[in-house]
Amino acid sequence: MRRSLLFIPSNSPAMLQNADIFGADGVIFDLEDAVSISEKDAARTLLDTFLTMYPLNKLEIIVRINQIETSITSKELEKIVSDRIDTIMLPKATKESTLILLNQLRNIEHEKKLTKKINIIPIIEMATSVLEVSDIAKVERVNGLLLGAEDLASDLEVPRTLESLEILMPRALTILAAKAHKIDAIDTPFIHKDDDEGLVKDAKFAKQLGMNAKACIHPNQVEIINEIFSPSMAEIHQALRIIEAHERPENIHKGAFSLDGKMVDKPIIDRAHKLIEKAKAWHLL
């Protein structure tokens, strides 16, 4: 379950060894934009050695690789794919590149005799990705979609603004595709790392649209994002009341019943259970 995913540059020992102290639900070890071309080899060896010697069991371990079309990707996957990681994040995803990654993962998992299946989070950051987002979302092992607004804005030839009107439709389409395939919709990072007020506004709006989680580029953003994407105490209390009311003998076999004068039916009961599951996972109960 995801609320916050923190990007960590993979060639920085100081950042790597503190990856698990910031309270993020997952960390994205970055081999792409945060690492210069001349240091790609050093970064993948440093990350692999780090994860071998310091397993991070309580976090989702995500690795952002380079674009699938580059020659670097095969070397990265050979080195990085192991039982120590959970997910590969794929930049500039298209349906084709996501399927290529899926096949590469299957081959490497078979060769290395892994005990787990690695998941995929494609990044929706090109106009093509947005148009193909539903097809990308239904590829096996894809369990979340990350909207990448900065690269997308470049592809759309528009400036990025604080209001984010330019990404409104891609945001909505990413959410719809994710929800239609029952996977996570993960919002683009807010890149103004010192603007807490702006982050709150942006994250609340993303949540209102339907995003489940948000990526972040600075440890200081984790707490705000966790708070916004966690259920509130009022929501938890109401969910518990709905579940308790549903489990009463007079309601348990009913398709719908009334609580506080409002109809409660299956979708509302399911949502209440899902919310309580999240609250338990995040120790809010």
Part in contact with another protein (CB under 8 A); list of ranges 47-55, 92-100, 122-130, 145-153? 47-55
- Residue 12 vs 134, nearer CB to another protein: 12
Distance set, CA 192 to CA 4, 33, 274 (Å): 16, 17, 32
By CB under 8 A, how many residues form the interface with another protein? Answer: 14
Buried b / exposed e along 175-210 (16+ C-beta atoms within 10 A)? bbbbeebebbbbbbbbeeeeeeeebeebbebbbeee
Check residue 30 for interaction with another protein (CB under 8 A): no
Report the relative pairing of strands 256-259 and 262-265 from DSSP bridges.
antiparallel
- Residue 49 vs 232, nearer CB to another protein: 49
- Residue 52 vs 258, nearer CB to another protein: 52
Check residue 42 for interaction with another protein (CB under 8 A): yes
Part in contact with another protein (CB under 8 A); list of ranges 7-15, 83-91, 123-131, 144-152? 7-15
d(C-alpha 96, C-alpha 139), whole Å? 10
Part in contact with another protein (CB under 8 A); list of ranges 50-58, 85-93, 108-116, 142-150? 50-58
- Alpha carbon of residue 242 to chain centroid: 29
Here the tokens at position 99 are: 């399927």
Check residue 45 for interaction with another protein (CB under 8 A): yes
Report the relative pairing of strands 60-64 and 87-90 from DSSP bridges.
parallel
- Interface with another protein (CB under 8 A): 12-14, 17, 41-42, 45-46, 48-50, 52-54
